[in-house]
Amino acid sequence: MANFKAGDKVIYLGCTEEQMNWGNNDNPNKFLLEGCTYYIEKVEVHSWHTKLTLRNIPGKFNSVSFDHFRKL
């Protein structure tokens, strides 16, 4: 499980309907492109899921749709 924090650079991996519905998250497919990078503005940790708010992007998204950006 990834430990996200504000300021982290993340890659959007895509999102299933189930991942959106778990915890009543917003639909990231309206705003994000798979494989693109974004910066975390805020992290909300709940008992069974974590929501990410991204810099300059409206909505709250399930953290399982993201991975940390790693340079090769």
pLDDT digits (tens, 9 = 90+) for 55-70: 999 999 999 999 999 8
pLDDT at 72: 60
pLDDT digits over 8-28, tens only?
Answer: 999 999 998 888 888 889 999
Distance (Å) of CA 18 to CA 9, 41, 55, 64: 24, 24, 24, 11
- Whole-structure pTM value: 0.89
- The backbone region for 65, taken as left when phi is positive above 0, alpha when psi lies in -120 to 50, beta otherwise, is alpha
Q: How far is CA 39 from the centre of its chain?
A: 9
Distance CA 62, CA 72 (A): 26
Percent of the chain with pLDDT over 90: 74
Sorting pLDDT into bands at 50, 70 and 90, what band is 33?
very high
